[in-house]
Chain A
Amino acid sequence: MDSVEAVLREQAPHVLGALVRHHGRFDACEDAVQEALLAAAVQWGEHGVPESPRGWLITVASRRLTDQWRSDTARHVREAAALPHKQMAPAADAVPSGEDDTLVLLFLCCHPSLSPPSQVALTLRVVGGLTTAQIARAFLVPEATMAQRISRAKQQIKAAGARFDLPPQDAWRQRLDVVLHVLYLVFNEGYVATSGPDVHRAELTDEAIRLVRQIRRLLPDDGEVAGLLALMLLTDARRLARTQSDGSLIPLAEQDRRQWNQDVLREGVGIVTETLTRSRIGPYQLQAAIAAVHAEARRAEDTDWPQIVALYDVLTQFSPNPVVTLNRAVAVAMAHGAQAGLDLIEELAGDRHLADHHRLHAVRAHLLELAGRPEPARAAFEEAARRTTSTPEQRYLRARADRLS
């Protein structure tokens, strides 16, 4: 990210917050800010960043907004009449700082009336300051499709009557969980990319980490915010080691751990350690703790599997889901022998949805190989390879199958 882009991305939510506070009409303001950001990208690139970038952007965006309204005077009058007082004139005790606008905007973009893909797209544009073209590239869809997704999301927010305000106290926890989940999805979308046009997707991991860091500054005592940040850091630290130069995947056990980013790992482990001792525990903290146990093993064979099993036991109580159960089966196998893991898998295979899922077959294959049963292991790897829709995973699973024949 160059310096102009960094400034723009940093300023985007504050500029939008200032405009919405003053004018109301989130959707029109968002369009105006987007136009101002695009204009700034061109002009600042040529003439340098102005002394007050935020002032510059607010001025230009406001001008766009009034131009737009002037072009439709009748509508302007109607809209102005409909503006709530609170938004026209902020109360004297209103927080004037742009800092917590980020949080208000995050809650708005992650409004429960939107589908997760819409929440993700809107968050990246409104809070992340990414252009529609960048988001479209990251999600491998045409720009027109992404533009439509974003504009529809804005209409839905308007239709839902969402306000530019923090959610009420009783809904706070639930709404924050949605925000964290959306940022988790953004991170994941970036992390799983392995090659090709995915340079853009790697940008998503950085963006997700940047946004979680911002939330953490605003909510330093929230254990799950800290947990999510730690989880992202501990995962991202392995990025270089997880693929070969040709984009093929390297499983955790075979990664060259010297390639793990030690500074990032240290930061992640530090956050987990500090958070677990003083906050109410939650799923992100537990997943981060599991990642921290892996991070602390110098070699794969040094991994403290019994501790990982114990953490998965607690995680299963918080958020029982098939992926957690499968991961736990692997940990059980590593701690107590392959057969113990296989027994758990057999119970899961009764679940029709999971029985079709490639990951179940991949885990079973892995455990069968560990148990010294190459023939059924090979068949299970092939079954998993046929069922996955991920090219790199398919390549990896086929290679494992071939190794056994």
Chain B
Amino acid sequence: MLMIWSNPENWDALPPADRAALAGDAVAEHAAIDADLLRSGELVISAALADPITSRAVRVRDGVVTSTDGPYAEAKEYLAGYYLVDCESVDRAVEIAARIPDARWERVEVRAAMDVAGLEM
């Protein structure tokens, strides 16, 4: 899983012209990564997430469901998007992560997904 972490404060601090240019380039770069991963047979799924202002937190306590609107003051960083890839090695995953434009101004985290398989020991 390649997780793109983003801090909206950093983003908002950019001059509007820079922000627009970055965003425009990023869309094209993400599309290229998607296309390449699909071609190589490594893409499982990818998604860009909406602004954290649209998120809702869901909690169930004693069977009662409550949901509250975000964003959440306690979090500085938000998950902005992700790629789930099925590739040969961690090194390959890191190589893909380094192509994600957000890695240049924010941070992309690479972590293995759990598998349902296992060996008896």
Contact = CB atoms under 8 A, between A and B. Distances in A.
Interface of A: 115-118, 121, 139-142, 144-146, 148-150, 152, 189, 192-198, 201, 238, 242-243, 247, 249-252, 255, 359, 362-363, 366, 388-394, 396
A236 to B, nearest CB: 13
8 contacts: A149-B41, A192-B117, A198-B116, A238-B120, A249-B121, A391-B116, A392-B118, A394-B114
A192 to B, nearest CB: 4
B32 interface: no
Contact of B118 (A197, A255, A396): A396
A148 B41 contact: yes
Contact of B114 (A242, A249, A366, A391): A391
Given A142-B45, A390-B118, 15 more contacts: A116-B88, A117-B88, A121-B41, A141-B86, A145-B43, A145-B44, A194-B118, A201-B117, A249-B121, A252-B120, A363-B121, A390-B119, A391-B116, A393-B121, A396-B121
B42 A194 contact: no
B18 interface: no
A389 B114 contact: yes
B64 to A, nearest CB: 29
Contacts of A196: 116
Interface centre among B38, B86, B116 (most CB of A within 10 A): B116
B117 A148 contact: no
A391 B118 contact: yes
B54 to A, nearest CB: 26
Contacts of A362: 121
Contacts of B88: 115-117
Nearest to B113: A389
Contact of A250 (B40, B86, B120): B120
Contact of A145 (B41, B117, B121): B41
